[in-house]
A and B are shown apart, each in its own frame.
Chain A
Amino acid sequence: MSGAAIVMMLVAMLVIWGGLALAVLNLLRYHGEEPGEVRRDL
């Protein structure tokens, strides 16, 4: 692989998978009210 291809692959991984990790962390840290076990299905 060329250097440019390796760099762009790492950038894509870092931004997209890093963004996913940050989004999950944000969700875990936010203590908004969860609907809990609603079990309202018919």
Chain B
Amino acid sequence: MAGHPRPATPTASSAEEAHRGAFSSRRVFILAAIGSAAGLGNIWRFPYVAYENGGGAFVIPYLVALLSAGIPFLLFDYAIGHRYRGSAPLSFRRMGRAGEVLGWWQVGICAVIAVYYAVIIAWAARYALFSFGQTWGDDPNEFLFVDFLQVAEPGLGLEFVPGVLVPLALVWLTILVIMLLGVQRGIGAASVVFIPLMVLAFLALVVRSLFLPGAAAGLDALFTPDWSALADTGVWAAAFGQVFFSLSVGFGIMITYASYVGRRTDMTGSGLVVGFSNSGFELLAGIGVFAALGFMAQASGLRIDEVATDGLGLAFVAFPAIISEAPAGQLIGVLFFGCLVLAGLTSLISVIEVVISGVRDKLDLGRLGATLLVGVPTATVSVLLFATTTGVPILDTADYFINQFGIVLVAGVSVLVVTWVYRDLPDLRAHMNATASLRLGRWWMLLIGVITPAVLGYVLVQELRNALEAPYGDYPAWFVNTMGWGVAIGVVVVAVVISLLPWSSRTSLDTPLPLADATRPVRKGARQ
């Protein structure tokens, strides 16, 4: 690898790992990675994407996307974090001087996501409580936007909504406590508790939904194949987009988590478990959600396509209606919104850890200092922007732009730079294969270096065309330019500025020794 800095000694590397923190075992790492991947999108996005894009036939493009892009990209992120033993900025910096910008770009995207993601968890927590009294009444849509969120016109305001402010503050308090406890005692312990709890709760929800009248009609709508959809490139793009967003790849999370894993851990086997667990949870969510929607359609005398929806509409409008109509609806409400809270918390933890980890490495701060330096401003901005009556349009716009023109773009640029500028894929592959239960062949490099950027480029161009044809969400142009394009571009500018700042002299920018060399006894006189 031409241009790489001098390798560090194994001793220096071990001391650095002791300073940064680590997961205590492979099991904890896998649970944390599943917690990051299995988020809100698994529950409220996948079912509708599958339904809209061929139903049962969607299984085919979905599996192709999972095996040809999703899991290979997951392993690509693992390889970077595990090989270079650092946060996203430090890992890319160790790869090459200019690479650091990519790392801070990913950190910036995570900071933006963290700011708005927390408020959705706060809404879900409130709705779990609302389920007991079915507070939304006969019109969940009006209750959500008028009574609960008190949504105002797009803009910036400081009119707080107490019903959102209090749970949002509690979400941030919870997150800060978990992050302060550190990698193992905070992130690891939370994952070990939250993930099994979430899976059990969702299983209970699925079982309850399957016994509702009309459930079979819902499943029929979800799984009836429309084979003509396979000829539609949009369906294939939707499958790749779903797998890509769902796995939390390409924006620093998996790099950060992989850097906390022991050097001799089998990463390919772990990656397969994480990838299939994420898809398994999505499938479970699809069954549970469409069984419930089938009941709703039957109860209201509507067709499935008239009740099927995704995102906020599914979670905070359709499900409250289902809860109001269904026998033991309160149980469904607590399980569904409880799962949203748990899925959201474990994902938010991973997102904010990317930022904390980057700041820790850059400034060589302790866990306490870095958590407070990152967590307090992030929580403050989150509360100021999203506990107000103007929060929803900002969330909607920022979420769309940071996903489509942030994550997709940085992921595509990262694979291109690592593959074609630093030409690092052979080294990363060798690193993974040194401890792999399933070895990566040359096919992996082909998928990462050629197929993945091509698919990401296609998705990006399609979305760019849509965004330029009509203003997003019928919002005013100034609003979209500020909260959409402004945020997506601003993150890149900030990343460039931070990458120009010096690193702490105590942070080693040397590349860790390759695994085979690091495990070999160091002889006297060997290169130090």
Contacts and interface: CB of A to CB of B under 8 A. Distances in A.
Tell me, yes or no, whether A binds B.
Answer: yes
Interface of A: 1-2, 4-9, 11-13, 15-17, 19-20, 23-24, 26-27, 29-30, 32-42
B24 A23 contact: no
A20 B283 CA distance: 12
B283 A17 contact: yes
10 contacts: A1-B220, A2-B220, A12-B56, A16-B63, A17-B283, A19-B279, A32-B269, A38-B184, A41-B182, A42-B367
Contacts of A1: 216, 219-220, 223
A24 B399 CA distance: 34
Given A8-B59, A20-B280, A35 B262 contact: yes
B193 interface: no
Interface stretch (B13-21, B112-120, B250-258): B13-21
Given A8-B223, A12-B56, A16-B276, 13 more contacts: A2-B220, A5-B56, A8-B59, A16-B279, A16-B280, A20-B273, A23-B269, A33-B265, A35-B26, A38-B184, A41-B22, A42-B19, A42-B366
B135 interface: no
Interface string B276-317: 110110010001000000000000000000000000000000
B261 interface: yes
B26 A9 contact: no
B421 interface: no
Interface in B211-242: 216, 219-220, 222-225
A9 B378 CA distance: 42
B26 A26 contact: no
Given A35-B25, A35-B261, A40 B17 contact: yes
A16 B17 CA distance: 35
Contacts of A39: 24, 184
Contacts of B269: 23, 26-27, 30, 32
Contacts of B438: 26
A32 to B, nearest CB: 4
A20 B273 CA distance: 6
A20 B270 CA distance: 11
A15 to B, nearest CB: 6
Given A32-B265, A38-B23, A5 B220 contact: yes
A5 B22 contact: no
Contacts of B216: 1
A16 B183 CA distance: 30
B264 A41 contact: no
A40 B438 CA distance: 28
Contacts of B126: none
Contacts of B61: none
Contacts of A29: 437
A27 B267 CA distance: 10
B226 to A, nearest CB: 10
A20 B34 CA distance: 12
B219 A5 contact: yes
Contacts of A27: 26, 266, 269-270, 272-273, 437
B264 A32 contact: yes
Contacts of A23: 269, 272-273, 275-276
A2 B224 contact: yes
* Those 10 A-B pairs whose CB atoms lie nearest each other, nearest first: A35-B262, A8-B56, A30-B437, A20-B276, A33-B264, A23-B272, A5-B223, A41-B182, A41-B184, A32-B266
A17 B206 CA distance: 16
A12 B59 contact: yes
B25 A36 contact: yes
B150 interface: no
Interface in B150-192: 182-185
Contacts of B57: 8
A9 B59 CA distance: 9
Contacts of B265: 32-35
Contacts of A35: 22-26, 261-265
A6 B19 CA distance: 53
Nearest to A29: B437
A17 B59 CA distance: 13
A27 to B, nearest CB: 5
Contacts of A15: 59, 63
B435 interface: yes
A40 B367 contact: no
B271 to A, nearest CB: 9
B225 A4 contact: yes
B261 A6 contact: no
Contacts of A12: 56, 59, 223, 283
Contacts of A9: 56, 219, 222-223, 287
B59 to A, nearest CB: 5
Contacts of B25: 34-38
